[in-house]
Structure 1
Amino acid sequence: MIKTTTGPGRPRRKDPDEVRQALIAAARDQFAQGSFKGVSVREIARAAGVNQAMVNYYFGDKRGLYEAMLQETIGPLIRTLEEAEARGEVARLEDLIPRHAATLAANPWLPNLIIREVLYGESEFRNLFIEKFASRVAAALRRAIDGGRDKGELRDDLDPRFGTLILFSLTIYPFVARPVVERAMGIPIDDAFAGRWSEQILQLLAPPKPPPEDEDP
């Protein structure tokens, strides 16, 4: 419930930060079930318990709220990349892949939204997602692959372009195909899945281990 503030003789006033967060949470719930066109501002505002004018006040319009919802979800991953690069470092795959997988695991609605709105939806949202989110993550992954190869942490024959595609594909697929993964393969996508799956992905890209040296007779 959104808290309200009041003073002597003043009408009750809702906390701005809580109103904003309530709208983002309501948008997440509504867009998880319906398309951008199919979900109305009125429905989002009703679910948030506020007047629909608050959407325009805080976000400009429904598109602004949609972008803020994605930023709230994917933003922490992107900030991790940018903070590492601000220190003159290249983010490592050991940090990126688990965080990427954890983001998807914590937001099971996100992969389906990407498929519905980005892959099969209108180009407006496809361009928004690619330019503001996917392209930034892809660029950081490629730099991480280059850095890992230079340090001998990854296969030296790994093409960074295809390596980026492999990482994107492997990371997101279990969450898109969750019913198949759980029922046909018997792999539960539980709280521990993101960490275990990240380890498997990194092992696939690791350089082969040298053969054991023969012991002297």
Structure 2
Amino acid sequence: MIMKSLASPTTDERAGAATAQAILEAATDLFARDGYTATSVRAIAQAANANLALVSYYFGSKEGLYLAVLRELARQELAGHPFPKAALLAAQAGSDDATQKAALREVIHTVFARMVAARDRVPLGVMLTRELAAPTPALDRMIEEVARPQLAMLRTLIGRIIDAAPDSDEAWRAAFSLAGQVMYYTFARPLMDRLAPDATQGREAIAACAEQIAEFSWGGLMALRRISQASASRTHRPRRQGEGSKSPKSPVALRKKENLR
């Protein structure tokens, strides 16, 4: 006997899936064109040629439908450009600089390709820009489901490179600095296309941009590592004889001593 969950979908189930997909696609186009606030559920149902009640049936609410659209767009991008977990595993604690640099380079090229692809796909690029400018409750969900796990993997690698804990402020700031470079190339495209189109347009230029971010970031991380190691060295430096035995005099006390002479 074949279990129901493994059985072939019925005609009604196939029709239902097709209707839900039509609603999702119509919502994607309208949310990208008009924004979340200006898009009505009725307009989505009409564009999908579906009964208005089916929007609530399949997605619960307008907010649920909007979140479903963002999740689907994010799923497509992550599937097309998955995070290079193999490179991160190769850069475990104790690995040499060359291995860690190669892992960082692969991560940056992957994330850069993903963001450029999202930028060129009108719905996702437009919706991401709107979410950053005027966040909706869906942004918090996407941060927890997509951004935070991705940043956790990046911070793990950065922490190894700079000799800091992945959840340290230093690792967070370094991750934001690295991601910020990629995001600038993504969202400042109109500015760059007008100032220096040859520097950022085309496959070769995009690869060169990613490589420059990788080299620039590695140099910055090396500087952070030197700062971290110097700080650790000062913290663990053996105290010399007599060092710290007397409290340093304040400027006020020194001036009083001079006046008594």
Corresponding position: 1:35 with 2:35: yes
Match of 1:142 among 155, 160, 177: 155
Which deviations, in whole Å up to 9, do the C-alpha atoms of 1:21-55 show, x marking residues without a partner?
33333222212222212111222233333333332
Provide the rounded CA distance (Å) in 2 between the counterparts of 1:37 and 1:197: 35
User: What residue is the counterpart of 1:198 in the other structure?
Assistant: 210
User: What residue is the counterpart of 2:58 in the other structure?
Assistant: 58
Corresponding position: 1:178 with 2:189: yes
Provide the rounded CA distance (Å) in 2 between the counterparts of 1:190 and 1:23: 34
Q: Return 5+ residue gaps in structure 1 as ranges.
A: 151-158, 209-217
Q: 2:72 is matched by which residue type in structure 1?
A: E
Deviation at residue 202 of structure 1 after TM alignment = 0.9
Provide the rounded CA distance (Å) in 2 between the counterparts of 1:149 and 1:19: 51
User: What residue is the counterpart of 1:131 in the other structure?
Assistant: 144
Provide the rounded CA distance (Å) in 1 between the counterparts of 2:128 and 2:148: 14
Deviation at residue 147 of structure 1 after TM alignment = 4.1
Provide the rounded CA distance (Å) in 2 between the counterparts of 1:207 and 1:47: 51
Note if contact 2:178-2:217 (Cα within 8 Å) is conserved in structure 1.
Answer: no
Q: 1:198 is matched by which residue type in structure 2?
A: A
Across the aligned residues of Structure 1 and Structure 2, the Cα RMSD in angstroms comes to 3.6
Note if contact 2:26-2:44 (Cα within 8 Å) is conserved in structure 1.
Answer: yes
Corresponding residue SS for 1:204:
helix
Provide the rounded CA distance (Å) in 2 between the counterparts of 1:127 and 1:28: 19
Deviation at residue 13 of structure 1 after TM alignment = 8.0
Provide the rounded CA distance (Å) in 1 between the counterparts of 2:197 and 2:89: 39
Shift in alpha-carbon separation, 1:18–1:125, aligned structure 2, 3 A: same
User: What residue is the counterpart of 1:77 in the other structure?
Assistant: 78
Q: 2:54 is matched by which residue type in structure 1?
A: M
User: What residue is the counterpart of 2:134 in the other structure?
Assistant: 120
Shift in alpha-carbon separation, 1:61–1:163, aligned structure 2, 3 A: same
Corresponding residue SS for 2:197:
coil
Provide the rounded CA distance (Å) in 2 between the counterparts of 1:106 and 1:206: 24
Deviation at residue 149 of structure 1 after TM alignment = 5.0
Seq. identity, %: 29
Provide the rounded CA distance (Å) in 1 between the counterparts of 2:201 and 2:25: 23
Corresponding residue SS for 1:206:
helix
State how many pairs are aligned: 189
Deviation at residue 60 of structure 1 after TM alignment = 1.6
- Which of the two has greater helix per residue? 2
Corresponding residue SS for 1:89:
helix
Q: 2:196 is matched by which residue type in structure 1?
A: M
Q: 1:96 is matched by which residue type in structure 2?
A: V
| TM-score scaled by length of structure 2 | 0.58
| TM-score scaled by length of structure 1 | 0.68
Corresponding position: 1:98 with 2:86: no
